Amino acid sequence: MNSICEIDVPSLAGTTIPIAERETTSQNVCVWLVDDNDRFRTALAELLGRMRGIQCARHFSSPDAMLSTLASHVGPDVILLDIQMRDRNGLDVIGPIKALSRDTQVLMLTSMYDSERHNRAIAEGASDFLLKSYTPEEIVERIRNPSRRVNARRRRAKALCAATQARSTAKFASGSPSLLKDGFNFLRTLIG
């Protein structure tokens, strides 16, 4: 994916200085990181910035700051998004991200696995679910591997198709008037 990202470099005073906008090559993956844990976020951003083929262009301490930036800039290839951030739930931000930047892949990044949150993240449009306990190499591999995300999306679409078809068949057999609405919701889920 090609996208334009503004590169920020920490200055000596601890503020961020915009250096330049540049186009990433198909080998580079432009990443934004959103996590309220300053130490973790800074360390992961630095680590990602050192990895070949990864460009950690921005990092944010809150989803609101990221959404504000996303509303006025071209979206990155990938957003690594923490789930629990102070008073905000990262799962609630997936929809607005996808509305602002449809092609941006959202990878959830969390401290512990929870199947309900995992299922909700995928249903909301996230492409992957990563644990903070993964090694940096595992995180980078997941960022770089778009086929895994595409295949995951295809598996979800097939599962949705089968489930919706089963529900629609049952409703059609019972004469339910909501058949058309279910079909529309299914299409919206696949497209959205």
Domain boundaries 4-144, corresponding CATH code: 3.40.50.2300
Tell me the one-letter amino acid at 19.
Answer: I
- Give yes or no for residue 156 having a pLDDT over 60: no
Q: What's the whole-number mean pLDDT along residues 140-156?
A: 66
The domain segmentation of the chain, as residue ranges, is: 4-144, 153-191
- Report the interhelical angle of 146-174 vs 179-191 (nearest 10°): 180
- In the predicted structure, residue 67 carries a pLDDT above the cut 50: yes
Q: What was the pLDDT predicted at 137?
A: 87
Q: Which of 81, 137, 90, 141 is nearest to 108 (CA)?
A: 81
Question: How far apart (Å, rounded) are the C-alpha atoms in residues 19 and 28?
Answer: 18
Of residues 119 and 179, more confidently modeled:
119
- pTM for the full predicted model: 0.64
* Residue 6, helix vs strand vs coil: strand
Cβ contacts of 27 within 8 Å, gap of 6 or more: 53
Give pLDDT, residue 13.
Answer: 31
- Looking at residue 155, its pLDDT comes to 52
Whether residue 191 is predicted with pLDDT greater than 50 in this model: the reply is yes
Q: Is 14 exposed, middle or buried (0-12, 13-18, 19+ CB in 10 A)?
A: exposed
